[in-house]
Every structure is written in structure tokens, then in C-alpha cells.
Homo-oligomer: A and B are copies of this chain.
Amino acid sequence: MLIYRPPVDDTAFVLFDVFNADAQWARMSPFAELDKELATAVLGEAGKLAEGVAPLYQSSDVEKPRWKDGAVSAPPGFKAAFADLAGGGWFGVSGNPEHGGQGLPKMLTVLLEEMFWAANTNLYLYGALTTGAALCLDAHADEEIKRRYLPPLYEGRWTGAMALTESHAGTDLGLIRTRARPTANGAYALTGTKIFITSGEHDLAENIVHLVLAKLPDAPSGNRGISLFLAPKFLPDGTRNSFASGSIEHKMGIRGSATSVINYDGATGYLIGQPNQGLACMFTMMNHARLSVGIQGLGLTELAYQNAAAYARERLQGRAPAGPKNAAGSADSILVHADVRRMLLTQRAFAEGGRAFGAYVGLHIDLAEHAPDAAERQAAQRRVDLLTPVAKAFLTDRGMECAVLAQQIYGGHGYIVEHGMEQIVRDVRITQIYEGANGIQALDFTARKVLRDGGLALGDLLEEIRADVGTDEFAAPLAAAVDAVEASARRLIAGSADDPDLPGAASTDFLELTGLATFAWLWAKMARAASSPSAASSPSAASSPSAAGDGPKRELARFFYAKLLPKTLALEQTIAAGSASVMALQEDAF
């Protein structure tokens, strides 16, 4: 049976001790009223709710959603649990206050999301696309649609879905075949089949708002001929729209979540944004969802770690190399073994580092909209654009790595369904795939976010890190990691003009290198924040009886620098190795 304890204290530490959230909020007028006390209360409430819905996570893997005649019923217990989430207003926390949203800063809400993803990923998936759909409508829809759709989405009475993929068109959306035919009333009739539609059909909400990519009759081919449509399950007059779930998928994991094939059979849709500009509109939702999926990876990392640590504390097996530590017991706890600690500390370092990273990206989303100065807003937006693919891919790759390590701590018991650890592995695996596979994130990061502006946005981040390198034990290796990122970027910029395969050949490694260097910075910041006398929010700092003035944060930072950061050495070299060895093999030799 899995346990989950919301990391409220560590979240508060990240917000207030590491990033001075209250000072940041004071600078942004919509958040001026928000203080540490209120934010901490919100965290506490979210944590309570998350803990409450956690027990249904494992049961929903077995008592799966059911499909019958085009309708899907969610797993047992989900109705009441979802009503708690929706009723608590948790889908409207970052929504536009003009339409009923609570307008809380993303820096805070991204860490609320972590708790919901961690506690019950299957449940949260029924509502997870709701906030992104609302964001997309808020940005691109007309006022009437906003007035009609945003309030029930924020209330979670209605949920959102994102209909992009077709069986032959995943990464390459230019190939989609779903058609939109104008109808007499100014609306459109959508016809086509979409697959992999998370929560495209279920019985937890009164209505489901599909955002659908389709092609107008006169559309140009490829990505420039895609338009975005809103197609609600129930039309404004209450009639059922003509689309339905054709089936639900049998999946490796997230089995409590219903993933539908959706058949649109002349379904009524409303154009959102301009004709043929649908992909750009959809990116508002996709970028939101990409960060959210990264946070899902983070949440599952935390869940995996908590359980593995609890198991390791209790499991007695073998003796410490230097002699018994629990001489009265039949054996020592496996925490005496360095290799077990290595696995646990890796998870913890990526979970806590990921929390700081999520807050950092969230802060810049807030700054991009609300910073007092236009230049600061633009700079923040560049930072968000740069780091969104890193958040998606780096956090989910680490999620998979950490879930496997956590399962490994359990030995054979980790492979048995009842313990739940194998479910975390199966579930976190999807985060590397959906919302743009991680290879796509890496290419987006490398080609679009770094090469296209000649490394400017990346340079700004590296400059911020360099200005904050400090003078402590982490300064030299942090500076070296930043240098490695910069040298690699220069090499890629210089080499890509003559070698169009270079970005793709280096992209996955370059994203990971950047992620590691950024985490190294965040770990140095956290160690510093935890050592400072004002770090009252840190339970870690408070509870540590170890080396004077140093808490677990500094010890974890040291672990990160000693055992995880050195991978940058390998990555810098594999990036420098270029594309030749990757492209040489003839296609028919595969």
C-alpha cells in the first residue's frame, strides 16, 4: 500500500526561502495581497485534499474505467473524489478572475499541481487538461465563448480535452485528416477520428470541452493549414454533440485514466482564433500542458521516493560493512548500505531540485505576464519559452529513472503489483511520451529555443546563474557546468549551418546537460538558503543534527555535485562528437 505525505514544508521552503516569493508577489499587482501565510494555508489545504484522494490511486489501476456504447465511466470512487477537487476550486486556482478564476500565481499553483499528480495521477488526469483548455480559450476565444465556457471549466463542473493526434499523425500534425466544413450558422461540422484523447469521454463532469485540430476545405497543406475548434460534448442548447468515444485504449499504465479514440461525425465546432492559425493557438495549451506533464514526472518522483525511503527504513537485511548498527535486531536496516543510499539520494535530489525548478519556471510565467517592466516581462517570457521543453523532458526522464530506482529498493517485492511501486514505473513512463515525446522536446529546445536566436535566451539564463555562483564549495563545479553548456551551445550554433543533422544528433544530450547545470545552480541556492539563519520554512534545516549549520539540503547538494553532476562531462563530449556516427548507417542496414 503506497503512502503519500504532501511536501508542504519543503514547498514553502522553495517558495519563500529560496525564491522570496512574497517579495516577488509584492512586485506584481495581481498578487500584492498574497502573503506567505495565505499561500502556506493554500498549500496546506491542497495537501490535505491530495492526501485524501491518494488511496484511490492503486485501486483505479485495477478497477479501471469502463466503456459501453460510446460512454465511459470512471473508476469506482472517482466521482466523489473528483467532486472534492472541483468543489475546492482547484481547477480555477490560476484562472482569470474576470471569469471566475482565482488568479493565484503560477509559481504557487504549479506546486499544488505537483501534489495532485503525486497523490493520484489517474484521478487528476480527468481534470488536468481543464486549466490548459481554459488558458487557451482565455487567450484566443471571443468574449461570448469565454463567458460561456470559462466559469464552468474553472469550477471543474466541465472539463477539457485536447484532440490533436490521429493514428498516422502524432509528431507531424501537418498530416491530420480531420475536416471542418462551414455550416450555415457560422459554426463548423467536424469529421474525423482522433486517438489518444485523455479524458475525451468520462462521467465525472457535466460537459467536456474538446479543443480539436482540423483542416478547413481550402486549407494549405501541412502545419499552416490547421485550424482550432471548440467542440463541447453538450451544445449550448443542451443537445448532445455528434461525437463519441469509439473505444478506450489498453495501456501500460495510467490505467485508471480513460484514453479514448474519439469519432467526430459532423460534430459542431466553433472556430477559435484565426483560420489556419490553429497550431499557434493550440501551443498556448500545449506549453501549459508540457510544464504540467513535467510536474507530473516530479510528483511521481516524490511519491516513489517517499515509499522507497519508508521501505528502506523498515527493511532489515544484512549488516553494515563496518559491523552491526542494529545489533539487537536480526539485521540492520538497508539504509546502512551505500548503494541503497545512492539510489534514494538520487531520487531525493531530483525531487527537491525539480520542485525548485518548477517554482522557478512558474515564477517566470508570472513575471512574463505581471512584471511591472515591459523588458522584464519579455525577458521572463524568453526564459519560459526556453525552459518549458526542459521542464517537460528533464523532469519526466528523471521521473522514470527515479521510479525505477525506487522500485529497485524493494527488491523482488517491488515487482509485485500489491506494493504499488511497479505502478509508479508504468504510470510515469507515459510522461516521457505524451504531450510531445521527449525527443521532440529536445529538438524544440535545441533548434527552436537555442539555435534560432543564436543562443541569446540561453545566454541570459547562464548569465543569471553566473551572477549567482557564489563563493562556496559549489562555485567552481557550478561555473564549470555553466561553461560546458555555453561551449556546447557555441559548438552547435557554429556547426549547424553546415550540418542540418547536428541539432538532432546532440539535442537529447544538450537538453540533459542544460538540465543538470540548472539543477546544480538550484542546489547551490537551496544549500545557501537552508544555511541562512532566516530559513525557518525548511523542516530539513530545522531537523538536522549534523555538521554545524549544515542541514540535509547542503548534504543533498553535496551528493548532487559528487554523484549526479559529473554526467555533464560525458554529455559535453557526446555533444562534441557531432552527427557523423549517428547518420552513417544506411537506412536499409537498420
Contact = CB atoms under 8 A, between A and B. Distances in A.
A148 interface: no
Nearest to A334: B171
B251 A585 contact: no
A343 to B, nearest CB: 7
Interface residues of A, number: 105
A587 B439 CA distance: 38
Contacts of A555: 581, 584-585, 589
A499 to B, nearest CB: 9
Contact of A318 (B171, B345, B502, B589): B171
A344 interface: yes
Interface string A398-410: 0010001001100
Given A249-B416, A318-B172, A342 B582 contact: yes
A127 to B, nearest CB: 21
Nearest to A253: B415
Contact of A412 (B170, B501, B552, B563): B170
A156 to B, nearest CB: 26
A321 interface: yes
A567 B570 contact: yes
Interface string A299-328: 000000000010011001110111000000
B433 A411 contact: yes
A577 B566 contact: yes
Given A339-B442, A439-B343, A501-B322, A433 B414 contact: yes
A311 to B, nearest CB: 10
Interface stretch (A3-11, A65-73, A179-187, A537-545): A537-545
A339 B429 contact: no
A191 interface: no
Interface in A388-432: 400, 404, 407-408, 411-418, 422, 425-426, 429-430, 432
Interface in A334-377: 335, 337-345, 348
B425 A586 contact: no
A322 B317 CA distance: 57
Given A337-B504, A504-B337, A412 B439 contact: no
Given A433-B411, A570-B567, A505 B442 contact: no
11 contacts: A171-B317, A250-B418, A253-B415, A341-B505, A341-B582, A415-B429, A426-B426, A546-B585, A559-B585, A563-B577, A563-B581
Interface of A: 165, 168-172, 175, 195-196, 249-253, 309, 312-313, 316-318, 320-322, 330-331, 333, 335, 337-345, 348, 400, 404, 407-408, 411-418, 422, 425-426, 429-430, 432-434, 437-439, 442-443, 500-505, 507-508, 540, 543-547, 552, 555-556, 558-559, 561-563, 566-570, 573-574, 577-590
